[in-house]
Amino acid sequence: MKTRYSAYYALPYLFWIVLFVIAPLGLLLVQSFNNIGGHWTLANYQTYFKSGTYLRMTFNSLWFSFLVTMVTLIIAYPAAYIMTKLKHAQFWLMLIILPTWINLLLKAYAFIGLFAQDGSVNQFLTLIGIGPQQIMFTNVAFMIVAAYIELPFMMMPIFNALRELDPSLINAARDLGANSRQTFMKVIFPYSLSGVRAGVQAVFIPTLSLFMLTRLIGGNRVITLGTAIEEHFLVTQNWGMGSTIGIILIIAMFLTMYLTRERKGRGKQHAK
């Protein structure tokens, strides 16, 4: 009796998912097969795969997302590891989360203030004798801001994974003669991989379609697929092409999820 009810409990969620997830995705898919005159066509996909511009843009998006993900991972992992050792871990975690409460646009504008020609960073550089540098509208600036914005999303899952690690496992490893490097490589890191995986997904996927930053911080010198989508929906009003790129992004996201999925077999080999 009880189990039958619990299946019904899923109904509202199902309802919700169909209305607000499946239906919009379906609409996007249908749109992507429409040309500007509203006719059923595959032309959008043909244009996409034939055009060097779109393919290069896709490569750009993937490359920048990869770099941003790597940068956040390199910063977030040690930080999360140290945080788990601290006394007031929750407090530090909150400080990390705090910036996510601020609107993205505001943060971007704050960085404009920092990186501008007479911004704080350049004033500091002048003070120590290096002289003002061009920071705005460079790839580096875009990477810094994107990494800053995505950092909490990388840090949180890693922190949670590390915190759930049973300390007795580490003690056992040390008792059995592993040095600290070995303990980390063989015990701590493999156990925190689930967190890393979640973090990579949470950072890589949204970074693929970051578009506002490419204009505000990158000055459109950094072009990602998001730029093209925005243009197709707002300027050329070619919703079909915009949807096509949207669908390609979604496929890219599924691919990312697939590539970073939990592999069941591997754990067993290690367990030996």
Partner 1 sequence: MKKLIGLIVVVMLTVGGLFAINSWLTQAQHPQTGTKQVTKARTLTIYNWGDYIDPALLKEFTKETGYQVDYETFDSNEAMFTKIKQGGTRYDLAVPSEYMVAKMRRAGMLEPLDKDKLTGLQNYDAHFMDRDFDPQNRYSLPYFWGTLGVVYNDKMVAPGEIKTWNDLFKPAYRQNIMLIDSARDIMGMALASSGHSMNTTDQPTLAAAEGKLATLMPNVKAIVADEIKTYMIQDEAALAVDYSGDAAEMVANNKHLHYVLPTGISNLWLDNLVMPKTVRNKTAAYAFINFMSEPEHAAQNAEYVGYATPNMAAKARLPKATRTNSAWYPKQAALDDLEVYQDLGSAMTQRYNDYFLEFKMTNQ
End-to-end CA distance of the chain: 42
- C-beta closer to partner 1: residue 56 or 266: 56
Distance of closest approach, residue 198 Cβ to partner 1, in angstroms: 27
Cβ of residue 21: shortest distance to partner 1, in angstroms? Answer: 13
Contacts of 253 (CB under 8 A, 6+ apart): 205, 208
At its nearest, how many Å lie between partner 1 and the CB of residue 254? 26
The Cα-based distances of 95 to 130, 157, 159, 169 in angstroms read 32, 15, 13, 29
Q: Inter-axis angle of helices 43-50 and 239-259, to 10 degrees? A: 70
Residue numbers at the binding site for partner 1 (CB under 8 A): 5, 8-9, 11-13, 15-16, 19, 36, 51, 53, 56-57, 60, 112, 116-118, 134, 136-137, 215-216, 218-221, 223, 227-228, 231, 234-238
CB of 243 to partner 1, least distance (A): 15
Residue 135 to residue 114: CA distance in whole angstroms: 9
Q: Please say which residue, 5 or 258, places its beta carbon nearer to partner 1.
A: 5
57 versus 247: smaller Cβ distance to partner 1:
57
Nearer of residues 35 and 194 to partner 1, judged by Cβ: 35
Beta carbon of residue 113, minimum distance to partner 1 (angstroms, whole number): 9
- Cα gap 55→48, rounded to integer Å: 7
- Alpha carbon of residue 149 to chain centroid: 10
Q: Which is nearer to partner 1, 126 or 179 (CB)?
A: 126
d(CA 79, CA 175): 26
Beta strands of 7-125 (E only): which ranges? Answer: none
Which residue is it, tokens 């591997």? 266
